[in-house]
Amino acid sequence: MDEYLDAAIAEAALGLREGGIPIGSILVHDGRIIGRGHNRRVQQGSAILHGEMDALENAGRLPADVYARSTLYTTLSPCAMCSGAILLYGISRVVIGESVTFRGEEELLRGRGVSIDVVQDPRCIEMMERFIQEHPAIWNEDIGE
């Protein structure tokens, strides 16, 4: 198992326990977690606080070269907004827990030179499938349908 993906999954589970959408993210630089977060749209009444955005916010302001040498771990394929942030900050690698329940902008990221690894971790898939089944209105609101 990957300790960083495990940490992202733990963030997703925390978000679920808080009553939110179970998507977690971790930013790793030189083998150390420098930012962690989870989707807090529901908890904070936010339009933009996705897991990846929360992890970036919690990492704080960093020099461009730190982002360029960092890996972002996320339990779900990044949406257009989060992919834009990945590109804006020049994050060079993204590890995605799953893209079964939602396939985000993986091709955009690849096309812009970001290394993408999609794991299809059964824990991530099961957590999102259960959430979507139990909370379809929240899920549809989050993905804009």
Number of C-beta neighbours around residue 119 at 10 A = 17
- Distance between CA 78 and CA 84 in Å, rounded? 9
Note if 52 is an active site residue: yes
Residue written as tokens 């009444």?
Answer: 45
Q: Of 3, 11, 52, 98, which residue is the catalytic one? A: 52
* Euclidean distance between CA atoms 76 and 122, whole angstroms: 12
Q: Can you tell me the distance from the alpha carbon of 50 to that of 79, in angstroms, rounded to the nearest whole number?
A: 9
Q: Which residues are catalytic?
A: 52
